[in-house]
Structures are given as structure tokens and as C-alpha cells.
Amino acid sequence: MNAVKNDGFVEANLGLVHMCANRFRGRGIEYDDLYGAGCIGLVKAASAFDPERGVKFSTYAVPVILGEIKRLFRDGGAVKVSRSVRELGMKLSSAGERFRSEHGREPTISELSALAGCSAEEAAEALAVNLPPISLTENSDSDDSGQIDIAAPSPDYELVDILSLRQVLSSLERRDRVLIFCRYFKDMTQTDTARVLGMTQVQVSRREKKLLSFLRGNLLE
């Protein structure tokens, strides 16, 4: 069964989007735009995820979410939303208001998609990209400063970096993965690593510099 068709599945995993978006704070793009791009990635991941493959959803989704956020930087910082998606978002919004008025509760994604005559995947994407930005300076009855406290990052925050590193390392050739493993996971010297790989210390040093440059470029871009 397609994951996104389970009511509340996308909403339940929005924490992954926040974790990914936080990695790119302070790099010239507003957080709301980072979050919007991440939501698109989350919807795409939920739509394509196959639980029968034995992989956790977070493991599958994080690279997809990061890919959409990185695309935002490549595209100059603008989340490009097609006219059809914007129109569908407005249609869903109107349908949601009517549903709440008639039933006295929030509609599920499946119910909204049925009312709008679209698939659950299309409805989830339109809702995600049309989410309004959240103000960080709303007025508060209990605090005259008008600032909203932002929760400290969860211990799971490191999950994003771990999954990103794992993804990039998997793209390396086996010999290069062994080199990185020996140097940075086993804390071996370049000389010891050279013995394991049948290389000279100088060859290990040169290759290591190239690999580190590659890893930085793919993890920080």
C-alpha cells in the first residue's frame, strides 16, 4: 500500500523535514523556503516508499528531502510551484472549509482528495507546498517580548548527518571506502592504511585529500 495514502503519514514525519532544513540555516535562504522544499521531498519519498524492501522510512526519506533542499540552492533559492499545484491547493482549501463546516472536524487527505477529484499523492503535495509560513514573533499573552521559544534539537538531529554520510560513502568504490574506514573509523595512520591497501603512504595521502574534498562537496553543497 502506498505510504502517503495512510492518513496522517506525511504529517507524522514532518520532523524529518525540520531536521534536514536545519542543516542549511544561515546559508542565504529563508527557513520557510527550506522547509517548503523539504516538504516536497517528504511527499515524494512517501509516495515512492516501499516498506517491503526492509528499509526504514527515515533512511529512505532523508536523502530525498535533502535532494529537494539542495535543488533549491541550485535553482537560486526559489521554490518553483506550478500553477496547477497552486490552483489545486486553493481548491483543497475551499473543500476543507466546506468539510469542516458540514462535519465539525478536520478532513483526512483521502477525504480531501476525493472531494477535489485528485489522487491522495497530488493532494498531499499541494497541501505541503501551500502551507503558510509560521511567524517567530507572534504576540503572546504570557510574554510581552512576543517571541516564541523554539525547542532544542532532538538527539535524533544527528540522524540526518549520519544518513547523508552513509549515502555519499555508498557511492565510492570499495577501495576508497576502505581507505576512509581505516583512517576515520579505525583511526589508523596513513602508513598502516597503506599496508592494508597495498599502497604507499604518499599514495594514501593524495587519495585521501581527493576523497575528503569529494565528501565535503557532496555533504555541504
Q: What is the mean pLDDT of each run of 10 residues along the chain (221 residues)?
A: 56 84 81 86 84 81 87 66 73 83 81 83 68 47 46 48 69 87 86 91 92 74 50
140 within domain boundaries: no
The reply to whether 111 and 18 lie within a common domain is yes
pLDDT tens digit sequence for 82-141: 677 777 877 888 888 888 888 888 777 778 888 888 887 677 767 665 555 444 444 444
Write down the pLDDT at residue 5.
45
Q: Are residues 176 and 123 in the same domain?
A: no
For residue 89, tell me if it sits in a domain: yes
27 and 87 part of one domain: yes
Do 124 and 205 fall within a single domain? no
CATH (domain of 176): 1.10.10
Residue 37 falls inside a structural domain:
yes
Task: Say if residue 112 is in the same domain as residue 190.
Answer: no
Total domains in the chain come to: 2
| Model pLDDT, residue 219 | 61
Q: Are residues 56 and 118 in the same domain?
A: yes
Please say whether the beta carbons of 33 and 72 come within 8 A: yes
Query: What pLDDT sits at residue 131?
Result: 55
Handedness of CA 71, 176, 57, 46 (dihedral sign): positive
In a domain, 100, yes or no: yes
Residue 29 lies inside a defined structural domain of this protein: yes
Q: What is the pLDDT of residue 200?
A: 93
**Domain identity same for 113 and 190:** no
Asked if 75 contacts 161 with a C-beta cutoff of 8 angstroms, the reply is no
Cα(128)–Cα(140) distance, rounded to whole angstroms? Answer: 27
Domain boundary among 70, 98, 129: 129
Are 52 and 121 part of one and the same domain?
yes
Distance between CA atoms of residues 51 and 115, nearest Å: 28
With contact defined as beta carbons under 8 Å apart, do 112 and 103 qualify? no
Same domain for 187 and 100 = no
Q: Which of 98, 114, 129 is a domain's end point? A: 129
Query: Which pLDDT score is estimated for 47?
Result: 82
Domain that holds residue 91: 3-129
- Predicted local confidence at residue 72, as pLDDT: 79
Residue 168's nearest CA partner among 19, 23, 67, 37 is: 67
| Spatial CA neighbour of 69 closest among 114, 134, 21, 120 | 21
pTM: 0.42
Residue 129, pLDDT score: 59
142 within some domain: no
Domain end, chosen from 129, 145, 162, is at 129
